[in-house]
Structure 1
Amino acid sequence: SRVRPGSDSLLRMRLSLNECAVGVVRQVTVDTAVLCDLCQGRGTHGDSTPAMCDTCDGRGEIQSVQRSLIGQVMTSRQCPTCGGVGEVIPDPCRRCAGDGRVRARRDISVKTPAGVADGMRVRLAAQGEVGPGGGPAGDLYVEIHEKPHEIFVRDGDDLHCTITVPMVEAALGTTVAVEGIPDGEIAIDVAPGTQPGAVLTLRGHGMPHLRSGARGDLHAHVEVSVPTRLDARAKQLLGEVRTLGQEQAAVKPTRTVPNQPGGGLFSRLRETFTGR
């Protein structure tokens, strides 16, 4: 038969982290084979009809007998005249030249669900290539490419960010405001005495799960900034604090390899979870 199923198509779509979190509806332009509107997929001109191929007598293949050392061997190959379909079109359609389909650009609506992630594919049934002879169209797959975010690094349904807290604020406690995805401003409480490297977790402030809708967590990794330039008054105040403290500098065993120069906590997080 001349009628064959069409192939699938692939389209790539770039989304921001916020768009992945809430889901979007976008109009996209695709270039695929569509049904020829002149012959409606028949491939013939006017009222003409296909005819049986005289070369293969409608079988779609040509058989031949060859002699070999073990005797006669019968082989078959695709008919070069009809291409294996068993019929030819003496009077083809002027628009599609007998193929039953033409190339065309068209706009379609693509809806992505909340919680999609990088590399996932959204399937649109029967929106791919129309097959030869007007055969059923394949599917269109939209592959999601997630743009890197300036603040957050995604790990599944969890989000990670880095907050930098001045030394005094880390000692006394403070609140840091973060623009959440997609919640808007979120207040992160930094407890008094928070240490560098501490991870503050906010339950339910991550990305939505693709199927259940349940939210992941937001993890804030704490960096404590130490002032490098102090005026006389600041030095005096810190000196007074030191006299009140009971802790002293000490040497401890090293359990981890020191970080490479120039690699901040945020860049290390991104490399850990994304490989970039």
Structure 2
Amino acid sequence: MAETDYYEVLGVERTASDDEIKKAYRKMSRKYHPDIAGPEFEDKFKEVNNAYEVLSDSDKRRMYDSGVDPNDPNASAGFSSAGFGDMGDIFGQFFGNAFGGGSQGPTPRTQPGRDALSSASIALKTAVFGGTAHVKINTFGLCPKCSGTGTSNGEKPVTCPDCNGQGMRQQVKRTMLGQMMTTAPCDRCEGHGTIIEHPCPTCQGHGRVRTSRDVGVTIPAGIADNTRLRLANQGEVGEGGGAAGDLYIDIRIKPDKQFTREGDDLHCWIQIPMSWAVLGHDMDIDTFDGRQTISIPEGCQPEETVPLKGLGVAKVKHPEERGDLVAHMSIHIPTKLNDGERKLMEQFSQSHDADASQVKQSSRPSTNRKGFFDKIKDALH
């Protein structure tokens, strides 16, 4: 069995299904991604990717389960879907072409880049109308000196003289079965088949450098909290200037001091004087669309709501439509009265609350709108 336990790396059982392996990989790749966990976890992130590369491929997984690591350059070139593979490929690793085994060929210098993950915090108003957020990401970008070629002064890589461009070299090793021919990546060209004689001094021949850049993210109107947006080809540039991966942005909506969101509606709580609730009143309140006038109805009860149609959050599928802004009334009851105010309240009490000791009690709020504030309004008229 291979030295590295790929099942243990992903935290799954050896009997894990393809879906379980995929879910485990997503969890571990987010946990150890260098842009999130830090550059010190880059080796661990590579280990997770190597494990997934093997266990997500049915042929490589069978090969690994039978004791051969496909990521080992000295391992077999692969197994067939039948589980035993082409024996010529297997013996070809040890005896060259004597059994008809094919070669793996050189490894391309240009490799696709990995995806990157970041997050952005936006204001509630941006979620309502949409807008642009800016995030700073630290990842690999195209080398500005060589434009991804990895060479100095525009030179092209030359054929490796040790492997003649094959990327692999055969070596004779002594075993208990006698001398055997093995195939391994060429030490001089690292399996690429070509050599960069004069590497770019900026990227050391890799075609990419670690960069920090600002990325503008278009926020669609009506976006929900914890939404993940995908920006194609905005992730990490690959080795040799390879195509960039994708950039994923997790959107976080910051709490607002005046409004809370519930679906496509906005809610706010407004404290009004008791007299406004009794007599009714017109007042201006703040909205994301500017100051708006609302009418408090006569006899307004605590927690009664006044909706403002179409001043809520834009609907994602129909951004031209919006939810409502719902204003909840919180009525301020005075705690201190002067002598004149107290006399008025005492007169009201004597006139309307003589039988207050016979109160009604129920398990639910009363639906009778003509209550305490209605009586005050009647007494003052």
Instruction: Give me the TM-score of the superposition, normalised by structure 1.
Output: 0.73
Q: Within 1, Cα distance between the matches of 2:194 and 2:349?
A: 96
Partner of 2:212: 105
Alignment of 1:252 onto 2:358: no
Which of these residues, 202, 219, 225, is aligned with residue 332 of structure 2? 225
- Paired residue secondary structure (1:234): helix
Instruction: Tell me the residue number matched to 2:258.
Output: 151
Q: How many residue pairs align between the two structures? A: 249
Residue 159 of structure 1 and its aligned partner are, at CA, apart by 0.7
1:5: Cα distance to partner? 1.4
Offset, 1:48: 4.3
**Structure 1 residues 39 and 7: CA distance shift in structure 2, 3 A:** same
Q: 1:184 aligns with which of 287, 290, 293?
A: 290
Taking the aligned partners of 1:7 and 1:176, their CA distance within structure 2 comes to 55
Instruction: Provide closer, same or farther for how the CA distance between residues 255 and 78 of structure 1 changes in structure 2, counting only shifts above 3 A.
Output: farther
- The one of 163, 180, 186 equivalent to 2:270 is 163
Task: Report which of the two structures shows the higher radius of gyration computed on alpha carbons.
Answer: 2
Deviation at 1:134, TM superposition (A): 0.8
- Structure 2 stretches of 5 or more lacking a match? 1-107, 176-181, 366-381
Q: CA RMSD in A?
A: 3.7
Structure having the higher helix fraction is 2
Q: Secondary structure at the match of 1:224?
A: strand
Change (3 A) 1:63 1:245: farther
Q: Does the 8 Å CA contact 1:45/1:94 hold for their aligned counterparts?
A: yes
* Structure 1 counterpart of 2:150: 43
* Contact 2:157–2:195 under 8 Å retained in 1: no
User: For residues 206 and 29 of structure 1, what CA distance do their matches in structure 2 show?
Assistant: 30
| CA-CA distance at 1:131 after TM superposition | 0.8
Instruction: Give 3-state SS (helix, strand or coil) of 1:241's partner.
Output: helix
How far off is 1:37 after superposition? 3.3
Within-5 A mapping of 1:67-78 = none
Q: CA deviation at 1:9?
A: 2.5
1:21-72, Cα deviation, whole Å (9 max, x unpaired): 23334565543322223333222334241545958x846799999x9xxxxx
Native 8 Å contact 1:53 1:82 kept in 2: no
User: What stretches of structure 1 of length at least 5 have no aligned partner?
Assistant: 68-74, 257-276
One-letter identity of the residue aligned with 2:236:
E
The 1:64–1:217 alpha-carbon spacing in structure 2 relative to 1, beyond 3 Å, is farther
Kindly provide the CA deviation profile for residues 158-178 of structure 1, in whole angstroms up to 9, marking residues without a partner as x.
Answer: 111111122232122223421
Q: What is the CA-CA distance between 1:77 and the residue it aligns to? A: 8.7
Bigger mean CA offset, 76-85 vs 18-27 = 76-85
- Give 2:305's match in structure 1, choosing from 190, 199, 203: 199
> Is the 2:120–2:135 contact (alpha carbons within 8 Å) kept by the matching residues of 1?
no
More deviation, 195-204/103-112: 103-112
Which amino acid is the alignment partner of residue 118 of structure 1?
Answer: D
**In 2, Cα distance between the equivalents of 1:141 and 1:208?**
23
- Choose the corresponding residue for 2:314, options 190, 205, 208: 208
As a proportion of its length, which structure holds more strand?
1
Deviations 1:182-231 (A, max 9, x none): x1112222212222222332221211113311111112222222111111
